[in-house]
Amino acid sequence: MPQSASLGVDIGSVSTKGVVVDQQGRILASEYLWTEGDPISATKKVISSLHRQLSHEVQVRSVGTTGSARRLIGTMLEADVVKNEITAHARGTLLRHPDIRTIIEIGGQDSKIILISEGVVTDYAMNTLCAAGTGAFLSSQAKRLGIPVEELGDMALTSKNPSKIAARCTVFAESDMIHKAQIGHAKEDLVAGLCHAVVSNYLNNVGKGKHIEGPVAFQGGVSKNKGVSQAFQSELGQELFVDEDSHLMGALGAALLSRSAQRAKSFDWEIADLAFQTRAHTCGGCGNHCEIVSFYRDGSLLDYWGNRCEMGQVSKGSQIIS
């Protein structure tokens, strides 16, 4: 008897995550890799990897997408559900930890806070403007210091006197770190200072005015950095829970949310071998000058978006616009 499962894909600007879960929400296969500015190619790689990890008895009967490229990839995968990151992260977290009251999520390019009461999202905030509180900031500074980003957390824990790094924005933090390095601050103190700067930036921007109530879950790629996790615990005065799959919670939530829509036939894994293309053009039909994005599979139009009136409509099934 084939095992029914669900696929969830979380497509971010820096990383793309995918999971396949069974009917109890247990992860059967997972993948995490860099988007590298090409969400279509990244998704193809994720799909291929997930397929290799599964037995032939597993049949995916529903698909969900989330993340910044959720509509694009939702169209590509013919997703049953396309959900925002807030909803997806909350759904995935509550399956594993139904008592969680606050979710702190820091990804590569943005960060968010989600407040939950009795299993319902009551408030949230996102930050997509300042990079000083994100994984991209930590990665760039690690490169400047000549340290693999994977080693930042462990190095930060060895510091006895963290440097105080300006956390207002990326430019100030970077120039402050360079100055302190030049006057003799030890690398481990600089790294610990960077971790504290990420936390300070987050709490003063994303978390500003929010009542952070425990239990608190820490998610996103940065949650794997022990230095940042410890800095959060020091600032908040409470322990943060970091799930072993904390970097996959958005994808897990998307998969779970898709289960209400069971497909008549199973997901076709060969979709990873098809040719997908996007084309953008500016519509001159009215004064809005909308930028229309058209999405094609093997040269035929699947979907389009960006138009604010009927003048920007594109005929479904039309051939690719050169």
Position with higher pLDDT, 141 vs 240: 240
CA distance 222 to 228: 7
Q: How many domains are there within the chain? A: 3
pLDDT score recorded for residue 310: 85
pLDDT at 240 > cutoff 60: yes
pLDDT tier at 27, thresholds 50, 70, 90: very high
Residue 39 sits in the same domain as residue 157: no
Residues of the chain with pLDDT > 70, as a percent, come to 95
Longest CA span, the chain: 67
Chain segment 37-87, per-residue pLDDT in tens: 899 999 999 999 999 999 888 999 999 999 989 999 999 999 999 999 999
For residue 143, the Cα-to-chain-centroid distance in whole angstroms is 22
Residue 51 sits in the same domain as residue 169: no
Residue 113 sits in the same domain as residue 229: yes
Residue 102 sits in the same domain as residue 236: yes
Q: To 10 degrees, what angle do helices 135-145 and 170-182 make?
A: 20
Helices (H), the chain: 39-53, 70-76, 85-96, 135-145, 152-156, 170-182, 187-204, 226-236, 249-258
Q: Which domain holds residue 49?
A: 3-94+251-272
pLDDT at 322 > cutoff 50: no
CA distance 168 to 146: 24
Q: Kindly report the pTM of this predicted structure.
A: 0.87
Amino acid identity, position 320: I
Residue 302 sits in the same domain as residue 191: no
Residue 18 sits in the same domain as residue 90: yes
Average pLDDT over the chain reads 88
